[in-house]
Amino acid sequence: MKFNVSPLTCGRCVTTITQALQAVDPDARVTVDLAAGTLDFDGGLDATALAATLAPHGYSAVPADAPADPGPAGAASCCGTCHA
| pTM of the complete model | 0.78
Could you please report the per-residue DSSP string of 23-71? HH-TT-EEEEETTTTEEEEESS--HHHHHHHHGGGT-EEEETTSPPP--
Query: What domains does the chain contain, in order, with CATH numbers?
Result: 2-63 (3.30.70.100)
pLDDT band with cut points at 50, 70 and 90 for residue 14: very high
Taking only the tens place, the pLDDT of each residue in 46-74 is: 999 999 999 999 999 999 987 554 555 44
